Amino acid sequence: MRKPPAKPPIIPEDINIDVLEDTLSFYIRSINLAVSRDLDERLEGLDVAKGTGKITTLLLVDDYPGIRPSVIAHLILKDRSAMGRLIDQMEGHGLLRREISPDDSRAQELYITEAGAALAVKIREIVPKQSRDFFSFIPEDEQRLVMDILRRAYRRIVGLP
């Protein structure tokens, strides 16, 4: 059972949000709040919930055995120390393990564990579905359109080709 319908709060009349009406960053930031919360709910209990990065990390480690923390950090837009703590957490949960790279002994290589791989399977189902569901009121073609544009933005930001 879910929380009681969360009472439809006050119905604000016709409000105009000023210049933000035409400010892309405003929409990104606002929608981020809503979609992140919704995602957290769906991931409840899956020790990959809360905060950005765990999901991406899990999938990347699963796909690229031996990948280095700093590579992931860069892709999830965190600094190395934040990344380190994130890995501590996930390692603590038994999702992955680190080894020191034979090539460069200050670097690490990350490897998925069984538990991690199992979780990755679930994640691959839940996460895209959550996104589709959440944005289901946007026609599919428009969703894809937005995604194609934002994908370029993301890749540009993190410097992917």
DSSP, collapsed to helix, strand or coil, labels residue 97 as: strand
Q: Where are the alpha helices (DSSP H) in 114-139?
A: 114-134
DSSP class of 21? G
Q: Is 121 in the site for a second copy (CB under 8 A)?
A: no
Residues at the site binding DNA, with contacts judged by CB under 7 A? 7, 9-10, 33, 37, 40, 50-53, 68-70, 73, 78-85, 87-89, 98, 103-108
3-state SS of the chain: helix, strand, coil percent to 5? 60, 5, 35
> Which of DNA, a second copy, none sits in contact with 157, Cβ below 5 to 8 A by type?
a second copy
DSSP notation for 44-93 = TTSSS-SSSSHHHHHHHHHHSTTB-HHHHHHHTT--HHHHHHHHHHHHHT
Q: Binding pattern to a second copy, positions 30-69, x when CB under 8 A?
A: xxxxxxx--x------------x--xx--xx-xxx---x-
Name the site residues for a second copy (rule: CB under 8 A).
8-12, 14-36, 39, 52, 55-56, 59-60, 62-64, 68, 70-71, 74-77, 124, 127-128, 130-131, 134-135, 137-138, 142-143, 145-147, 149-154, 156-161
